[in-house]
Structures are given as C-alpha cells and as structure tokens.
Amino acid sequence: MLLQLACLYLCGLTLLLATATTTSTSAAIAATNTTVDTSNIAKGATITKPGCPRQCGNLTVPYPFGIGKGSGCGIGEWFEFNCSYAFNPPRAFLGTIEIYEISDNQMRISNVMARRCYDRSGAVVSANTASSDITTTPFSYSKLNRFTVVGCDDFALITGGGDRNFTSGCFSLCSNAEDVLDGYCTGIGCCQTSVPTGLKFYLTVLSSLNNHTRVSSFDPCSYAFVGEQERFIFRGAKDLSDPNFMERTRATVPIVLDWVIGNLTCAQAKVSTDYACKANSYCVDSDTGLGGYRCSCNAGYEGNPYLDPGCKDIDECADSNSNNCEKICINTPGSFNCSCPTGYYGNGVKDGRGCIANTSEFPIIKLALGIGFGFLSLVIGITWVYFSVKKRKLIKLREKFFQQNGDLYAAPMTSTDLYTVPISPYTNTRDLSGQYSLDSSQMMFPHVNDPR
C-alpha cells in the first residue's frame, strides 16, 4: 500500500514539473508572438519616390501620393497634388480642394457648406448651396462623416450616390436660445444624420419653416454640411449667433475620404502586372463596395508598402517601449524573443514570470523535488521498519514454540513416554531373512502428548 502511494505521488510530481515547463514555454511563445502595430505609410526612412519632395508645408505626402502634377511622384494622376507657395506655409491642393492629412486608408480635405441668412422680416439676405462630386476619382466619402444641420427653424436634405443611391435629412428646431444645450446635436438647434460608405457625390438642400422670423433675434442663419463627426463640437447658442461660424467650421471640420488603388480586388490585382504591394506587406480589399485595394505592412514591419524594397523589420529591442522583456530582448524577423541571463530563471516577460534570481527565491522545481525525494525516503524507511518488526515477531514466536514443545528427537525417552499396541502374531513362521524377529506379541511406540 505504501509503495503504491509513493508511485502515485511521484507520478503527480512528474506531471507538476511537466506542467510548469509547458507554462513557461507557452509564456515564451506568447512573448514571441507579441507584436507592435506599425502600419503607417508615413513612417520609415523612405516614404516618397527617389527625387520627390517629402512635404508641402506642414503636410507629409507619402507614396503612392506625390507632389507635382505630372511629376511621376504619385502612382497616378489623382494621387499627385499641386503645392501652392502662395501661402505661408505652402498648402497642397487637388484642383480646388485643399489636402489636410493623408493616412494609410484615408485623406482629410477642406469642407464646403450650405448657408441661408435672413433679416427680421424673413427675407433671404444671403444663400449658397453645397455639393461635391468625386465620381471619377479613386476616392469616396467615409462613414466617419455626418450630415449636420445647425439652426432653430430649419430642415435640410442630402441626396447622393455611388455604390447606391442615397437620400436623407433632418430637422433642427428651437423656440429660444435657452433651450439649446452645448455639446448636444440631437434636434434642438442642431441635428445630425449618418452618410453611407461608398458615397461618391452629394447635394444639400437647406430650407426654413418660417424664414427665421420667430428666432432671428438669436439665430439669423442656418447651415448644412458634411464633415467628420469627431471634429465638430456644437457650442450651443453661441454657434447660432456667431457671424464667423461658417469660416471657423470650414477650417476645423474636414471631410474624410477613403482612398484605394484602382478598382480591382486583391485577388485580381495579385495576378496583374501593376500589383502595388511590395515585400513584407499584404493586400487589403476595400469595404466600400466600389472595388480597389490598399497595401499594409505585415505585423512587426514598418515603412511604405508601395515602395521597393518594401516594409522593413522593426527592431523592437532597440526601444524598451516596443517590447515587454525584463532582461534580454532578442530581435527576430517581424517579432522578438525574451530570455533571462545566466543565474536567473523564468520566461523573461515583464507581465509573465519575468527573470528571478536563483538565490532570491527558493525555486519551485527544487522545492518539489526535495519534497518528493523526502517523501520517498520516508516511505522506504517505514517499509524497512515494518518488515524488521515483523521478522523479530516471527523469531520470538519460534522461540516460544520451541520452549513449549522442545526437540522431539533429541530428548531421551522414558517408560512413561511409551505405550503398547497389541498386534496379531504372524501366521507365517518363515524366517524374515534373519533381519528381524518378533519375540513378543506386543510392540512399543514412542508417543508425544498421548492422544488418550
């Protein structure tokens, strides 16, 4: 029984050590697979074609975009901008549209707004519409935009198309300035509605219920525009009476465009002669429903995926903020490994087991082995004592039996140790080969503990 317990304990100890080893290995693998998101075409040492300018004023222009119409610095005509030095700092334009920012899949451009202003009698004193058409370009309006109407006696419609036809609108009403709350665009002084993905053109129609005759004292104008939702913050009644609202909004609330390469899917582009994605990158299909694709660096790589030699490996070990190693960081293609120096144990990961000095804590494996071998020694000792005691008892039992019965063959016999058994005389008087003769009709036998 004790040996069986020892066997079970040792089996459990083996499983414990195997589990500890597996956990450590898994943690190391997790550390290896941890990567840093660096998919940004504006990062890296080379972001433009050789010989092409990198910036226009404050705008960084990464390939596939480029500065200079017809310069070949962009991947196509719609990807090449004019840099106007009439401004300080210079500004980039695509036609009459100013370019504010370019990211991996989006571009922010200047806004257009519709406006109608009234006098106290309700007469229109100024009005303009807002529309935009980018049908022939590889761009479309992003779902990050919202159609916004500002005013207290107004409704507006937006119609457009692209992947599908689109019509929507909203009402913005209020009766006095105190009803309008800052930061809320829910229909009281301001309303918003979403625009669909894949929109290529739109037209706004702005109108009033009573030509602002009931609200002209604090709201002489109404406005409608498409712009990035996160950039517009409604300031309540202050926006209704601000004569510079239109200029301020155009300067601070851009329109967001989604951009793609061509109109082919990734599967189609990969077998074409002008596939744009270079080494260590992958293709991303457009989700606008209009076709086209983009390129993005593989995890653990950075740079411009549209330029040779492609994306480059990130050395996560060069920047402590890019890895979670506690002691030793080993850079690998697209990733990194963590390890511990001699005299330490663990997986080397800061949020894992880290690196623990062998002398700083009593190691769990040594503790487990010590307990295991100690228990095994105890079992062996108990077993030896058990059999030793049992052997001594057996020896004492034999001695007691000997003392009670003695040695039957060594002890001398007396007359009291004999009893007689009558037998019949032989009927045959032949000589028994002279070996034995019977001169008595009785024979004596020794006895032990006479059964009588």
pLDDT in tens, 345-389: 888 898 878 898 887 555 566 666 677 777 788 878 788 777 777
The DSSP symbol for 51 reads: T
Specify the pairing of strand 66-67 against strand 80-84: parallel
Comparing CA positions, the residue from 73, 140, 201, 41 lying closest to residue 81 is: 73
Token readout for 3 is 């040996």
pLDDT of the residue at 17: 39
How far is 203 from 279, CA to CA, in rounded Å?
A: 42
Residue 275 DSSP SS3: coil
Cα distances (Å, whole numbers) of residue 184 to 40, 148, 254: 34, 12, 20
Residue 412 binned pLDDT confidence (cut-offs 50, 70, 90)? low
Q: What average pLDDT score do residues 328-346 get?
A: 92
Q: What average pLDDT score do residues 388-393 get?
A: 79
Share of the chain above pLDDT 90, in %: 61
Which of 77-91, 365-379, 426-440 has the lowest average pLDDT? 426-440
Which of 99-108, 273-282, 436-445 has the lowest average pLDDT? 436-445
Residue 204 DSSP SS3: strand
pLDDT of the residue at 4: 46
pLDDT of the residue at 394: 82
Helix axes 364-405, 2-33, angle to 10 degrees: 170
Token readout for 266 is 């990734």
Token readout for 284 is 């991303």
The DSSP line for 309-378 is T--EE--GGG-GGG--BSSEEEEETTEEEEE--TTEES--BTTTT--EETTTS--HHHHHHHHHHHHHHH
Residue 305 binned pLDDT confidence (cut-offs 50, 70, 90)? very high
Residue 392 binned pLDDT confidence (cut-offs 50, 70, 90)? confident
Q: Residue 317: what residue type?
A: C
Residue 40 binned pLDDT confidence (cut-offs 50, 70, 90)? low
